[in-house]
Amino acid sequence: MPERPAARPRPAEPPVVLKQPEPEAAAPLAEPLPDLEFTNSNPAPSAPLMPLAVTDDFDFSGEDFDRDFTESSVMAIDVEQGGDPVQADIEQVVVMFANSQDAPARALLEMLIRSYSREEGMRFWRLLFDLLQATGDRAAFEKLGFEFAEACETSPPTWRQEHPAPPTAVAGPRVFVLQGVLTGDGAQPVAELAKLVDQKIDVRVDCGKLVGCDDDVAGELAALLRKARRTGVAVDLEHVEGFIDRLNERLVAGEATRATAWLLLLELLQRHGTQDTFEERAVDYAVTFELSPPSWETLPAKHSVVPKASERPRDEAYYLSGELKNCRFDELVAVFEAGELTILDFSAVRRMDFFSAGQLVNRIAPFKAKGCDIVIRSPNHLVAELMAVVGLNKQARIIVPKF
């Protein structure tokens, strides 16, 4: 039997390497990818949503809101808590009266005198009495007096008869300052000047800072100066030469405009010009408007409106009167500069609006800072409370009459 060849191991074959297919190049995107919303790919099953049950005991009150929201440092609103309700009501009333809202202010006061106790409500009683006095309702004033006596167990105030202050009660001349360009909206000093002329009170007017005026104010000034001259009231215009020159330059003969300004110019020339200058401009007026001009009148000898020290009355107060609306109190600057003590008498002032009260603060504050002592005497309670609202009581001593 032939011999079989010895077995040999098979040589190792090289490992088979699988060829990976080459990835295809990504095609360029024509547009950017949209925003994607990433969610859980395997969301957990959930029960269907059920509507909230509303029960009878569900109550979201204002207390809940305060507890849950007002302490937030982001949404907090700074509201003053615990304010004085009496003072808040006082301020509401006096601002309404200052704005000439008499009927609402009266209705509110009639409610407030019954809402507060006798001690707390006394300020409202005073305000209501003064409101009726200011509006001239004497019948309601007397009727309220009986109710006051019964409620407060004390005597009510009496009705005050308004009498204009006599000229001798005014210390020295009234001093006014006219400045800037006067228009109908800001000509309160002109209106006050007209009142003094009607009362035959001598006055001194500083015109050094007066730049000009519109035609309406020019007509008012011309009329009151003419009236003062004919009734013998001394109105001394100081430093008026510059204003006369500017007015004279702007009025051209042949231009039939600004007739009232022409009349003012002629009145000023009558007082501070020569007769030749007056006659020349009077002819220009006649030619321009085809009207007869005013005639030259020989003025009486000037007398100073400043009394001697020995002749001055004891009362050194500066008197204000009527309704003070849109007042800037420019005339008070000269009054404050006259001495270290100034008394402003408000006994005849019926009403002062909010703007005027603020302007009075602005006028007094610089002199207060210089050490001047300013006293506001006898304002009614409505005006006095308004002064306190704007902070005037920090700049001046306010003396209110008692009742």
| Residue listed under structure tokens 């011309």 | 222
Count CA atoms closer than 13 A to 212's CA, side-chain side.
11
**Tell me: the pLDDT tens digits for 51-99?**
434 334 434 343 433 333 333 222 232 334 456 888 999 999 999 999 9
Among residues 257, 254, 248, the alpha carbon closest in space to that of 284 is found at 254
What gap in Å lies between CA 137 and CA 292, rounded to an integer? 49
What pTM value is reported for the model?
A: 0.49
What gap in Å lies between CA 333 and CA 291, rounded to an integer? 41
| Bridging pattern class, strands 373-377 and 317-324 | unpaired
What gap in Å lies between CA 150 and CA 117, rounded to an integer? 13
- The angle that helices 118-135 and 381-389 make with each other, rounded to 10 degrees, is 110
What gap in Å lies between CA 278 and CA 267, rounded to an integer? 9
Own/partner pairs for 244-252, CB < 8 Å, 24+ apart? 244/268, 244/269, 244/272, 244/273, 246/211, 246/212, 247/212, 248/281, 251/281, 251/284
Q: What is the pLDDT of residue 7?
A: 56
What gap in Å lies between CA 108 and CA 89, rounded to an integer? 9
Among residues 191, 231, 228, the alpha carbon closest in space to that of 330 is found at 191
Residue 324, strand partner residues: 352
Positive or negative torsion for Cα 272, 274, 280, 283: positive
What gap in Å lies between CA 271 and CA 292, rounded to an integer? 19
Instruction: Name residues whose C-beta falls within 8 Å of residue 272's C-beta, 6 or more positions apart in sequence.
Output: 237, 240, 241, 244
H-run or E-run covering 177: strand 174-182
For each of the chain's 403 residues, which pLDDT tens digit applies? 555 655 565 655 555 555 555 555 544 444 443 433 333 334 444 444 444 343 344 343 434 333 333 332 222 323 344 568 889 999 999 999 999 999 999 999 999 999 987 777 899 999 999 999 999 999 999 999 999 988 888 888 999 876 544 443 444 556 777 877 888 776 677 888 888 888 888 888 888 878 888 999 999 999 999 999 888 888 888 889 989 999 999 999 999 999 999 999 999 998 888 888 999 999 999 999 999 988 888 765 554 444 433 344 446 788 888 888 888 888 888 889 887 889 999 998 999 999 999 999 999 999 999 999 999 999 999 999 999 999 999 999 999 987 6
What gap in Å lies between CA 54 and CA 377, rounded to an integer? 66
Q: What is the pLDDT of residue 313?
A: 44
How many residues are present in the chain? 403
